[in-house]
Amino acid sequence: MPFFRCLICAENFPVIVAAETAAIGFHATRFIAAATTGAAMVIALERLRQEEALEIPARLRTEDARGFFEQMVEGGPTTARPPDSGFTSFIMGS
């Protein structure tokens, strides 16, 4: 089965920083085994939604938050497949 390197960007996710609510964005890379690019995208999003570090309390959720795929690359059979973990965040507007 093919695997895909999924580069994901998200914007306007609310978090509490120093007792204030701030909007952050983040980048994440996930390696997904799937039959098609579309299937890989669905699996990658589901895995991100299950990550405890990215859970947002219901009272902080906004309609401005969004995520999108910056790039989907199908890997070859000898390409390294690092474990899926982590993300890099940034303050929106910085």
Does residue 82 form part of some domain? Answer: no
* Overall domain count for the chain: 1
pLDDT at residue 23 is higher than 80: yes
Residue range 59-83: average pLDDT?
84
Does residue 20 form part of some domain? Answer: yes
Range of the domain at 44: 11-72
Does residue 86 form part of some domain? Answer: no
Distinct helix (H) and strand (E) counts, the chain: 1, 4
Does residue 36 form part of some domain? Answer: yes
Percent of the chain with pLDDT over 90: 41
Tokens 């405890």 appear where?
A: 52
Does residue 37 form part of some domain? Answer: yes
Tokens 């990658």 appear where?
A: 44
Which comes out higher in pLDDT, residue 37 or 77?
Answer: 37
pLDDT, the chain, mean: 86
Q: What is the pLDDT of residue 36?
A: 95
